[in-house]
Amino acid sequence: MHLRRPAAFIVLVALITVIFSTAASAYEGRVLQRNMRGSDVAEIQKMLEAIGYEVTVDGRFGRQTEDAVRTFQQDTGLLADGIVGPETLKALRAQGQNQVHKVRRGDSLSVLALRYGSTVADIMAANDLTDETIYIGQKLIIPATSYGEKLEESEAARKPAAEVESKGTPVMMTYQVQSGESTYVIAKRFNTTVEAIAEANGLKDPSYLRVGQKLLVPAGEEGAAVEDFAWPAMGPISSGYGWRTHPIYKNRQFHGGIDIAVPSGTDVKAAASGTVIRAGDMDGFGLGIVIDHGNGVTSWYGHNSKLLVKAGAKVVKGQVIAKSGNTGISTGPHLDFRIKVDGHTSNPLIWLP
């Protein structure tokens, strides 16, 4: 004999079914966390990789993926639990939207492209820019990243572009380590600290970096960074940065700059804006100029035939400051160009476009 279920029990089961059905329709998919696997995990990894977080796309939710998710959550103001639920997924998908960025001091198209996972060319095309010049207060459309265009349409994707402040999303930019760079140089360039970079990337030894390594660089004060540098003169590099046999003394010495081979009398331009702190005869460096760009960064211009600025002068990027020459200890006409950070030389090719 079969007993009939009480009506109240049937109603209760129906209510529970409705509640869970509603929740499922609101968030289609499972909550992703450590030790899970699947194509949905791989999709999250692709999203993270597309916006600059270091993660391997293998469909396995391991420690690296958990750390990337947690960092993304911190950057976007979410609960940093390393778990991908509906809010985190929504925030990841929102990265695929066009955004409007208000330009502030220290911004450049290359910095914005890295920050938002876009490209300089795409940002220029979206804003009908004919060159890379932007100004403080300008509003720029940041086009959707390539991964965002492949995602399924959602409510967030149909909303109008949201205006964001300079700190943007994420608040950390991705930077790829170049040959000869140190954490200290990178921190100085982007107006942050070695400690902040080490913490953001979990570096046990901040002094050890690999060429090509991707770092999350936290935004410094007001997002400020040292101004992008331009070439002080155009010509072949006759001697690079690093150890070499000195062309005159014939012994092994460290060359703290790059030699740009140009004829005497060629215009030498300020690589970035700043204040001239030295201008005159600098012994073996010949007639030289030193410009202070702030944040501990200086640029040096040596072996000139004529100086056009004096100490204390304010100069702007691209301004002609000297005529190249062959003064000092030199084997021929060229410009010896150097960049120093707190008095220590840094490979100029890292700073130049």
The DSSP bridge pattern shows strands 99-102 and 162-164 to be parallel
Give the 3-state secondary structure of residue 126.
helix
In whole angstroms, give the CA distance from residue 250 to residue 285.
Answer: 17
As beta bridge partners, residue 322 has 268, 307
Compute the chain's Rg from CA coordinates.
27
As beta bridge partners, residue 291 has 276, 299
In whole angstroms, give the CA distance from residue 292 to residue 315.
Answer: 10
Residue pair 119/111 in contact by the 8 Å Cβ criterion: no
Taking CB atoms within 8 Å and a gap of at least 24, the contacts of 236-242 are 236/260, 236/261, 237/261, 238/334, 240/349, 241/180, 241/345, 241/347, 241/348, 241/349, 242/180, 242/347
In whole angstroms, give the CA distance from residue 212 to residue 215.
Answer: 9
In whole angstroms, give the CA distance from residue 70 to residue 54.
Answer: 12
In whole angstroms, give the CA distance from residue 68 to residue 215.
Answer: 12
Per-residue confidence (pLDDT) for residue 315, from 0 to 100: 93
Question: pLDDT digit of tens for each residue in the chain (353 aa)?
Answer: 454 555 555 545 454 444 434 433 334 568 999 999 888 888 888 877 766 677 888 889 999 999 889 888 877 778 889 999 988 888 777 665 556 677 776 677 777 777 666 778 788 877 777 877 777 777 777 765 433 333 333 333 333 333 333 333 335 667 788 777 788 888 877 778 888 888 888 888 888 888 888 888 876 554 455 667 999 999 999 988 888 777 777 778 888 899 999 999 999 999 999 999 999 999 999 999 999 998 888 999 999 999 999 999 999 999 999 999 999 999 899 999 999 988 888 888 888 87
> Residue for token digits 């920050």?
115
Residue pair 289/324 in contact by the 8 Å Cβ criterion: no
Per-residue confidence (pLDDT) for residue 223, from 0 to 100: 45
Q: Residue type for 298, please? A: T
In whole angstroms, give the CA distance from residue 46 to residue 90.
Answer: 15
Indicate the helix (H) or strand (E) that contains 101: strand 99-102
Nearest in space to 302 (alpha carbons), one of 254, 230, 233, 229: 233
Question: Which structural domains are found in the chain, ordered by start?
Answer: 171-225 (3.10.350.10), 237-351 (2.70.70.10)
